[in-house]
Structure 1
Amino acid sequence: MKTFPFIYNQPKEFLKFLQPGDWADFLLGEINPRFSVTTVKAKVIAVREETADAKTLVLKPNWLWKGFVSGQHVPVTIEIAGRRVTRFYSLSSFPGEKYLSITVKRQAGGLVSNFINQNIKKGDLLELGEPSGEFVLPKVLPSKILFLAGGSGITPIHSILKQLQANQFKGKVTLLYFVRSYEDIILHSSLEEIVKAAGFLEIRYIFSDVPREGFDSGFLTKEILQKYTDDIKSYSVYVCGPGPMQTKALSLLEGNEVKSELFLLPGQSQLKVKKTGTVDVFLSLSHKTIQVKGERSLLEELEDQGIYPPSGCRMGICHTCVCKKSAGSVTDLSKGEVSELGEENIQICISRAESNLELEL
């Protein structure tokens, strides 16, 4: 419970404590935990198991929720072991539905994805941020659309397909969904319902690990594209899946109109190295110096030492973790490029220390 601050070291802390929005949130929360004047809080009204390692959370947000566009993602904040943690998840519902949905697949080493799958239940509250992302349909729809999905990359595509169904789309849509096995198909029943209800959609499941009679096996190839599309240059293409799949897709679809949403497993964006010794990182706002090895992202190495800067997607998309680097050099793990030594803004989730650093943290 919030208590009155009789003693503070600095006046600004006292004034911050007296912010009317914070007090209103506290009082409203005593009436109903979902009530707030500053924060979008969403109650979990249902939990659906999609696969052995993926669940859909159906959410009822409070009045502050302003809506979203199919294909966008949203920051989701939960408390784990007394620490607020934020991750970005694509909305798997579409705007015309009564409630929101996010579909979360467990990731190896994924703090939040594992916590959600293991612990979140009906009645729990989540905090939502403002939706964002450009993985959305254009105002003027193309006549032919090709979706390429890999694993949990199906979630924003599912939202878009539901939107096309609601809009009674008259064109042609092909979905090639690359997944490990038949049992790993996420949102399977909903996808099949769209196929039955809408005449525009054809879905082909391609299994990478466990072959199944009557289905293709393997990964994205030129042959697969040719097999299920007529005149590939005439399609608008949407790609959402792991990094290697996206790289392959972009190389095969050169010349096409392609929108992509990168889905990375933990560590996929990292250029793994082994170093000897440490480098000093001076945190100018905290007035402390720590030592890191420079083998992983700055975000991970800071968290290892109990320092938790704001972060979201952890893959260089959301820019929540941007901070100013006043001095020193880092490697951009998404590009493999080494920065200059001077002042610049960096994303610490995809930056690795190469020399002594000064960060505005």
Structure 2
Amino acid sequence: MLSDKTISIVKATVPVLETHGVTITETFYRTMFERNPEVKNFFNQSNQKAGGQPIALAQAVLAAAKNIDQLHVLEPAIMHIVHKHRSLHVTPELYPIVGENLLLAIKEVLGDQATDEIINAWAEAYGAIADVFISLENKQVKETLQQNGWEGYLPLIVTGIVQESSNIKSFYLKRPDDKTLPVHQAGQYISVQVDVPGVSYKQPRQYSLSMAPNSEYYRISVKKEEQGIVSGLLHNNWKMGDTLEAASPSGNFVYEGKENTPVVFIAGGVGITPLLSMLHVAKADTRPIHFVHCVQNSDVHPFAEEVKSLARSHMNLKVTTIYSNPIPVDQPDVVGLLSKEWIGKHVSKEADVYVCGPTSFMNHVVQCCQANGLAEEQIRFEVFGPSIGLGNN
């Protein structure tokens, strides 16, 4: 239990964090990677270079300072991070390293403003926050092991590779010992880690499981990004029979079945992957289902036939394809961009909405849904990479 004095001091630092938060977190990562290079195995270095990770951490630290006396209000964000940590095999030993370097960064950026009283208060607050995370992550470890999962990374064999579109490949993965896999919840992902040539640390990435939950195999569907080191390696180097180090399924962006409430899945590009897994589960419900996929054109449209096949055999499923830049042979349902007006016409105000895609796409969709009267609790979305607030949040 934090003292009233500590709570008061931490809350008093909110204006400083609003002004200098990103500078503090940028300094934190630089300092930590210099002093403790072994932790690079836990971090996507592409996110570091793009600047998204420091921004996301600054937002998290600011939210913690504002709510230090009522951390329970941050539970959804905390659980999202807990799942990320478990997928990356973050252990309790990492927390003191993070805490030490965070305090050093605060001192470096704030200089004389970072009094002993402020540093001691933040040290106490960080310890309390770390205890929350460690407790929740230890609980998840136990649950994972009870569900036939494993701790850390396990080599899985690549048993199939399918070109889903011009820029997306699916990799089918099985255990080498022929044991069953833990059945994931529709919408969850796995972390994989690969050795990058010329780099002394492994690089982790999270990829959604894009198939119906089962205990026989996993399928991840990887978009080859222009600057994607790991996606490029997977597309160019991995072949049948190779192994890929993977963690047990994680993630709290999961499908919640309801019999009567309409559900709308809105995917942008490769954001279809967790929503496709959800669709395989949702099709068994009697609720009305609308599956919307926004892509540039048919050349980069993955799983088109799989979704159409599901629609042909399930009368409660409607599919809408939206192409922003169609080629001559294309016949999409809608040409252009998903608009507020289209959502207002085609998305029921009573619907549950699941959204996944690029951050800018999700921000647009969330705002359009909210502008049409959908409440925040009706809209769920998945952010890959640093979690930066969307919509009106």
> Is TM > 0.5 for Structure 1 vs Structure 2?
yes
Q: Which one is further off, 171-180 or 139-148?
A: 139-148
Letter paired with 2:163? E
- Tell me if the contact between 1:39 and 1:64 (Cα under 8 Å) persists in the aligned partners: no
- Quote the offset at 1:104 in angstroms: 0.4
- Quote the offset at 1:218 in angstroms: 1.5
One of 277, 285, 299 as aligned partner of 1:183: 299
Letter paired with 2:276? H
d(CA) in 2 for partners of 1:213 and 1:85?
Answer: 40
- Quote the offset at 1:67 in angstroms: 3.0
- Tell me if the contact between 1:91 and 1:155 (Cα under 8 Å) persists in the aligned partners: yes
One of 249, 266, 275 as aligned partner of 1:148: 266
Residues 1:221 and 2:346 aligned together: no
How many residue pairs match? The answer is 229
- Tell me if the contact between 2:210 and 2:221 (Cα under 8 Å) persists in the aligned partners: yes
Say which SS state the counterpart of residue 349 (structure 2) adopts. helix
Residues 1:242 and 2:363 aligned together: no
One of 223, 244, 248 as aligned partner of 1:130: 248
d(CA) in 2 for partners of 1:227 and 1:41?
Answer: 47
Aligned ranges 1:19-30 → 2 under 5 Å: none
Compared CA separation, residues 239 and 38, structure 1 to 2 (3 A):
closer
- Tell me if the contact between 1:49 and 1:55 (Cα under 8 Å) persists in the aligned partners: yes
d(CA) in 2 for partners of 1:185 and 1:97?
Answer: 27
- Tell me if the contact between 1:75 and 1:87 (Cα under 8 Å) persists in the aligned partners: yes
One of 246, 251, 255 as aligned partner of 2:367: 251
- Tell me if the contact between 1:149 and 1:178 (Cα under 8 Å) persists in the aligned partners: yes
- Quote the offset at 1:192 in angstroms: 1.5
Compared CA separation, residues 86 and 221, structure 1 to 2 (3 A):
same
Residues 1:210 and 2:326 aligned together: yes
One of 258, 262, 282 as aligned partner of 2:383: 262
Equivalent residue for 1:102? Answer: 220
Residues 1:199 and 2:315 aligned together: yes
Letter paired with 1:155? T
- Tell me if the contact between 1:142 and 1:236 (Cα under 8 Å) persists in the aligned partners: no
Task: Please give the per-residue CA displacement for 1:293-324, whole angstroms capped at 9, x wherever unaligned.
Answer: xxxxxxxxxxxxxxxxxxxxxx225xxxxxxx
One of 160, 164, 172 as aligned partner of 1:46: 160
Equivalent residue for 1:113? Answer: 231
Residues 1:56 and 2:151 aligned together: no
Greater percentage in helix:
2
- Tell me if the contact between 1:74 and 1:129 (Cα under 8 Å) persists in the aligned partners: yes
Structure 2's unaligned 5+ residue stretches are 1-149
d(CA) in 2 for partners of 1:139 and 1:176?
Answer: 18
Say which SS state the counterpart of residue 155 (structure 1) adopts. helix
d(CA) in 1 for partners of 2:352 and 2:169?
Answer: 30
- Quote the offset at 1:163 in angstroms: 1.7
Structure 1's unaligned 5+ residue stretches are 1-35, 264-314, 318-333, 336-361
- Tell me if the contact between 2:181 and 2:216 (Cα under 8 Å) persists in the aligned partners: no
- Quote the offset at 1:223 in angstroms: 2.1
d(CA) in 2 for partners of 1:61 and 1:223?
Answer: 47
- Tell me if the contact between 1:171 and 1:200 (Cα under 8 Å) persists in the aligned partners: yes
One of 41, 51, 66 as aligned partner of 2:182: 66
Task: Please give the per-residue CA displacement for 1:232-278, whole angstroms capped at 9, x wherever unaligned.
Answer: 21110000011121111111222330000125xxxxxxxxxxxxxxx
Residues 1:316 and 2:386 aligned together: yes
- Quote the offset at 1:216 in angstroms: 1.1
Q: Sequence identity of aligned pairs in percent?
A: 27
Compared CA separation, residues 129 and 38, structure 1 to 2 (3 A):
closer
- Tell me if the contact between 1:37 and 1:64 (Cα under 8 Å) persists in the aligned partners: no
Q: Output the aligned Cα RMSD.
A: 2.2
- Tell me if the contact between 2:160 and 2:172 (Cα under 8 Å) persists in the aligned partners: yes
Task: Please give the per-residue CA displacement for 1:38-64, whole angstroms capped at 9, x wherever unaligned.
Answer: 742210001000011110001102548
Say which SS state the counterpart of residue 93 (structure 1) adopts. coil
Q: Quick one: higher RCO (CA 8 Å, sep 6+), 1 or 2?
A: 2
Say which SS state the counterpart of residue 264 (structure 2) adopts. strand
- Tell me if the contact between 2:184 and 2:214 (Cα under 8 Å) persists in the aligned partners: no
Compared CA separation, residues 223 and 131, structure 1 to 2 (3 A):
same
- Quote the offset at 1:130 in angstroms: 2.7
- Tell me if the contact between 2:224 and 2:232 (Cα under 8 Å) persists in the aligned partners: yes
d(CA) in 2 for partners of 1:79 and 1:243?
Answer: 27
d(CA) in 1 for partners of 2:282 and 2:158?
Answer: 26
Letter paired with 1:143? T
d(CA) in 2 for partners of 1:141 and 1:131?
Answer: 26
Task: Please give the per-residue CA displacement for 1:202-254, whole angstroms capped at 9, x wherever unaligned.
Answer: 1111111226445311212122223433xx21110000011121111111222
Say which SS state the counterpart of residue 267 (structure 2) adopts. strand
- Quote the offset at 1:140 in angstroms: 4.3
- Tell me if the contact between 1:40 and 1:64 (Cα under 8 Å) persists in the aligned partners: no
Letter paired with 2:161? V
- Tell me if the contact between 1:74 and 1:131 (Cα under 8 Å) persists in the aligned partners: yes
Greater percentage in strand:
1
Task: Please give the per-residue CA displacement for 1:104-140, whole angstroms capped at 9, x wherever unaligned.
Answer: 0111201111111111111010111132212112254
- Tell me if the contact between 2:321 and 2:332 (Cα under 8 Å) persists in the aligned partners: no
